[in-house]
Chain A
Amino acid sequence: MTFLARRLAFMLGVLLVTTFVAYTAMNALGDPLFNVVGFYTQVDCDAVIAGEAEDVVGTRPGSSLGECELVAEAREKYHLDDPLPVRYVRWIGAMVQGDFGESFKNYMPVSTILAERLPKSLLLMGMSVTVALVVSIPWAVAAAYRANRRLDRASTALSFGLLSIPGFALAIILMYFFVVRWEVFPSRFEDDDLFSRLRSLTLASLTLGLPLSAVYQRLLRTDLITTLQEDFVVTAKAKGLSDRRIMFRHVLRPSLFGMVTVVGLNTAALFAGSIIIEQIFSIPGIGRELYVSIVRDDNPVVLACVVIIVTAFVLINTAVDLLYSYLDPRVRRDA
């Protein structure tokens, strides 16, 4: 129980710190007022509204009474006159109650935007992790089974190749062949039914999943080889079990620890990694939304995306810790 409590406190701490950093960066480094109204006021707006200064319509942007009223409205609506920490607390309080605010740019509720974008990114993430695991586990088992022989050496070279292709370059190569040359996959995201969604996400999930499979393969291969030296493998052989059974039933599970940690870290990082990939393949997911919102200075959307990405990271890592106790009963007692 204390383990769980400590874990939760840690998660909360990470969430608070990251959101605070993001909020401060968005608000202190940029000018939220400019981001809302889209121009800098050129006059003392308070004076203009109070009628003490001249309304100079049409001379320079941000100088008319109408524009000044917009500014005053924005200030009040977003409490821009409050100090930063107060605004942060108010923002995080609303967030906890499920109120993500609304976009500066198209005034849609952020929650609506997220509900539209998030499922596509989650689907892409799921597919990428599936690709990575489905490819890496059999690959690692085959390589470890014939460690240091020809097949293993070839596979090492292949994994290095995969690791060394930048994600966006792999995306462009895949796009060149499968979209431009052979026209096997659509060039735009098709959202008709599940099948068309899966089809539209295939190349992107390969782009994200294949390099990861190389990472996992290398880690798992090393750990498998270490486990193969254990005495209980000899016992299993003496029981007359087949090599296949020994590999999959006896050796694989105790070898998964190292990989599981890294899978956790990388899966969470996929959200961020998908920013460029979603951009290349025109996938209307969270990553693309985030990129567009940053470029457009749409603070509420950016912050909501950051919260989602960080939460996903923390949650997945906690899940990994719990998975440990399944994989190794020896950890279970401490938990």
Chain B
Amino acid sequence: MPEPTEPTVVERPTDAVDGLDTGDFVQRRLGVGFWLAVGWVFLIVGAALLAPLLPIGDPEEIGAGPRQDGPSWAHWFGTDSNGRDIFSRTIWGARVSLMVGFVSIVLGFLVGGLVGVVSGYFRGATDRVLSFVVFVMLSFPSLVLFLLIISIVGQGLWVVSLTLSVLVVPSVARLGRAITIAFAEREFVAAARLLGATNRRVMVREILPNVLIPMAALLLLGLGLTIVAEGGLAYLNLSVAEGFSWGKMINLGASPRTLRSAPWVAFFPIGAMFLTVLSLNWAGDRLRQYFDVRELGIGSR
């Protein structure tokens, strides 16, 4: 695509008569917000990785403080109904949330990307069959599928991650297909074919790198999506059985009675999840604009 030129018009007097003369130019900067978002993500990831080394209390210690005690110096985020320290639990809870989110988004991108590239490269019958499968996946209520699989197969980390990756496969496949089609018609691909390269070689060497770069921006957006989805499952007590994630913590504080007497039990993990997802969305969107990838339009839930 042509290199966007610098906007020629810089002056927009603030007192100007408002009108329909809107010029939407692409910002070629990442901005302060991007770096703040990246900073937060690194902070959370770092804290989660280093949780065992940090000078924080045992997240499972019952009666570490008084029950349902509000935020204080001893317990920054207060304590839950069992007197456990919510600050420590929020950091430990990040481990499961991030782990499941990360594993499932990577799996989803691998599978979805492969399907999309193959579908867009070969077109024809292959494309029709794969597109049909993708539509079926889109139309199947994913949460129902999760519930079925997880309630039947079990609640291990890998099962949950694998199941959640199904959520992103169709969107990624659609996008990968669109980008591949755009690239497959470019000269350098035709040139590689003429030189006698095999299909697999063309796909892997010529097309895949070009598809992966713009999709990397979407990886961050997708990570936000899977973290939220894990939270939803955890809220229904259907996520990873071992340990606890933000979703499970939120569930513990979400009953009207607990909300009335100790709102912080639910609100601190909600805040942590919100800031993380917001950061991922913001950073991902700035990158998307930076690489000029069209919006996905996948809804939140």
Contact = CB atoms under 8 A, between A and B. Distances in A.
Interface stretch (A14-22, A63-71, A103-111, A322-330): A14-22
Contacts of B136: 14, 17-18, 21
Contact of B300 (A29, A147, A211): A211
Given A164-B278, A166-B228, A175-B259, A258 B297 contact: yes
A273 to B, nearest CB: 4
A172 B266 contact: yes
A276 B267 CA distance: 18
Interface of A: 10, 13-14, 17-18, 21-22, 25-26, 29-30, 144-150, 160-161, 163-169, 172-173, 175-176, 179-180, 187, 211-212, 214-215, 218-219, 222, 225-226, 228-229, 233, 237, 243, 246-247, 251, 258, 261-262, 265-266, 268-269, 271-273, 275-276, 279-280, 290-291, 294-295, 302, 305-306, 309-310, 313-314, 317
A111 to B, nearest CB: 20
B232 interface: yes
Nearest to A161: B278
Contacts of B145: 25
B101 to A, nearest CB: 12
B93 interface: no
Given A243-B19, A262-B297, A310-B139, A169 B24 contact: no
11 contacts: A22-B148, A25-B148, A29-B152, A148-B12, A160-B285, A163-B281, A168-B231, A168-B247, A176-B266, A180-B256, A218-B295
A156 to B, nearest CB: 9
A29 B231 CA distance: 25
B162 to A, nearest CB: 14
B141 A309 contact: yes
Contacts of B260: 180
The binding surface of chain A is classed by DSSP as: helix
B140 interface: yes
B246 to A, nearest CB: 9
Given A280-B254, A310-B141, A160 B282 contact: yes
Nearest to B143: A272
Closest 4 pairs (CB-CB, A-B): A272-B141, A164-B278, A147-B22, A166-B228
Interface string B6-31: 00000010100011101111000000
Interface stretch (B49-57, B203-211, B269-277): B269-277
A128 to B, nearest CB: 11
Interface in B263-301: 263, 266-267, 270, 273-274, 277-278, 281-282, 285, 295, 297, 299-301
